[in-house]
A and B are shown apart, each in its own frame.
Chain A
Amino acid sequence: QVHLQESGPGLVKPSQTLSLTCTVSGGAISSGDDSYWSWIRQHPGKGLEWIGYIYHTGGSYYNPSLKSRVVMSVDTSKNQFSLKLSSVTAADTAVYYCARYLHDGSFDYWGQGTLVTVSS
């Protein structure tokens, strides 16, 4: 059973960089050619927005709507992957989820989510 856990600051100041890490347990992040490690966010009371994914080799793809501000990275030695979102504003306040995306198209494992508030 794969388990994902997000960690990082719950409060970020406007114009700064939001940084989150997802720790994966129950399986190696580098195992399974069909696993893509993703970030998804949910604005308060709203729907889901896919941010992007990173593969264990470091390959990545970001949502064009956020691409200019997003960087994802992976650390296979720690079984972790990370998200950095720069120049944040109040519009980036959301619950951020990490999830495993399978090549077949579905997100089968999710973290519990972490609320990040952008405020001075």
Chain B
Amino acid sequence: EIVMTQSPATLSVSPGERTTLSCRASQNIGSNLAWYQQKPGQAPRLLIFAASTRATGIPARFSGSGSGTDFTLTISSLQSEDIAVYYCQQYKNWPLTFGGGTKLEIK
């Protein structure tokens, strides 16, 4: 099983700041990575797939990068509605696995 590790677990950020979240895979997954946003009481929402492709309707301030084992989700200018938990997910191998999440908090 591929283990996905996200860091940091919690990130305090100010509105307007550029924010970078990290995700590391325990083995090479190529670009087979997706990112999700989950707000309290809601289901996760797909943000990025294929490591860097924005899903339909996702604002341009969200971008993904990386390949192999190290990946990054960047929010160029944090908005208040971006406060949520973010998860990465690999789909290189079965079983599909998720990272433990990074929680964004308002500073």
Contacts and interface: CB of A to CB of B under 8 A. Distances in A.
Interface of A: 47-50, 61, 63-65, 97, 99, 101, 104-108, 110-113
B50 A65 contact: no
Contact of A111 (B43, B87, B94, B95): B43
B99 A113 contact: no
B23 to A, nearest CB: 12
Please report whether the interface of chain B is mostly helix, strand, loop or mixed according to DSSP: loop
Contacts of B1: 64
B95 A64 contact: yes
A107 B94 contact: no
Contacts, number: 50
B55 A107 contact: no
A64 B55 CA distance: 29
Contact of A47 (B43, B49, B98): B98
Given A99-B43, A110-B45, 19 more contacts: A48-B87, A48-B89, A49-B98, A50-B95, A50-B96, A50-B97, A65-B95, A97-B44, A105-B49, A105-B50, A106-B46, A106-B49, A106-B55, A107-B44, A107-B46, A107-B89, A110-B43, A112-B43, A113-B43
A113 B42 CA distance: 8
B95 A105 contact: no
A54 to B, nearest CB: 14
Contacts of B42: 112
B99 to A, nearest CB: 7
Given A65-B95, A106-B49, A108-B55, A48 B44 contact: yes
Contact of A107 (B34, B50, B101): B34
A61 B94 contact: yes
B71 interface: no
